[in-house]
A and B are shown apart, each in its own frame.
Chain A
Amino acid sequence: MTYAIEISDLKKRYEGGFEALKGISLNVEKGDFFALLGPNGAGKSTTIGILCSLVNKTSGKVSIFGADIDKDFAKAKQYLGVVPQEFNFNVFETVFNVVVTQAGFYGISNRVAEERAEKYLKQLDLWDKRNDQSRMLSGGMKRRLMIARALVHEPEVLILDEPTAGVDIELRRSMWEFIKNLNEQGTTIILTTHYLEEAEQLCRNIAIINSGQIVENTSVKALLKTLNQETFILDLDQSVSDDWHVDGYTTKLSKDLSTIEVEVIKGQSINHIFKALDEIGVNVISMRNKSNRLEELFVKLIKG
Chain B
Amino acid sequence: MSNSEIFIAFYTILRREIRRFTRIWPQTLLPPAITMSLYFAIFGNLIGSRIGQMGGFSYMQYIVPGLIMMSVITNSYSNVSSSFFSAKFQHSIQELLVSPTPNWVILVGYVLGGVARGLFVGGIVTILSLFFTHLHLQNLFLTIAVVCLTAIMFSLGGFVNAIYARNFDDVSIVPTFILTPLTYLGGVFYSIDLLPSFWQHVSLLNPVLYMVNAFRYGILGVSDINVYMALVIVGIFIVVLFTFGLHLLNKGKGIRS
Chain A residues close to B by CB (< 8 Å) = 14, 49, 52-56, 73-75, 77-78, 80, 82, 84, 86-93, 97, 101-102, 104-110, 149
Contact = CB atoms under 8 A, between A and B. Distances in A.
A119 to B, nearest CB: 19
B23 interface: yes
Identify which of B8, B87, B99, B256 gathers the most chain A CB atoms within 10 Å of its CB.
B99
A104 B11 contact: yes
B242 to A, nearest CB: 21
Contacts of A80: 98
Interface in B1-54: 1-2, 4-6, 8-9, 11-13, 15-16, 19-20, 23
A51 B185 CA distance: 49
A56 B95 contact: no
B100 interface: yes
Contact of A107 (B4, B87, B94): B4
B16 A74 contact: no
21 contacts: A52-B97, A52-B98, A53-B256, A55-B257, A56-B257, A73-B100, A77-B99, A84-B94, A87-B91, A88-B91, A89-B92, A89-B95, A90-B87, A104-B15, A105-B13, A105-B99, A105-B100, A107-B1, A107-B8, A107-B9, A149-B95
A108 B2 CA distance: 11
B112 to A, nearest CB: 15
Nearest to A82: B98
A107 B2 contact: yes
A74 B8 contact: no
- The secondary structure that dominates the B interface is helix
Contacts of B94: 54, 84, 88
B90 to A, nearest CB: 6
Q: Interface range on chain B: under 10, 10 to 19, 20 to 34, or 35 or more?
A: 20 to 34
B7 to A, nearest CB: 8
B252 interface: yes
A49 B95 contact: no
A104 B102 contact: no
B194 to A, nearest CB: 46
A111 to B, nearest CB: 11
A301 B88 CA distance: 37
Given A55-B257, A56-B257, A104 B92 contact: no
A106 B100 contact: yes
Nearest to A150: B98
- The secondary structure that dominates the A interface is loop
B143 interface: no
A144 to B, nearest CB: 16
Contacts of B11: 104
For the complex of A and B, 9 pairs with smallest distance between CB atoms: A107-B5, A104-B12, A105-B99, A74-B100, A88-B91, A77-B100, A90-B92, A52-B98, A88-B94
B257 to A, nearest CB: 5
A105 B171 CA distance: 26
Contacts of B2: 107
A5 to B, nearest CB: 15
A60 B64 CA distance: 59
Contacts of A109: 8
B101 interface: yes
A98 to B, nearest CB: 8
Interface in B80-122: 87, 90-92, 94-102
A80 B99 CA distance: 9
Given A74-B1, A86-B91, A49 B102 contact: no
A97 B179 CA distance: 34
Contacts of A92: 20, 23
A149 B96 CA distance: 12
Given A102-B99, A105-B100, A106-B101, 5 more contacts: A53-B98, A101-B95, A105-B96, A107-B100, A149-B95
A102 B9 CA distance: 9
Given A74-B102, A101-B95, A54 B257 contact: yes
Contacts of B101: 105-106
Nearest to A135: B90
A105 B9 contact: yes
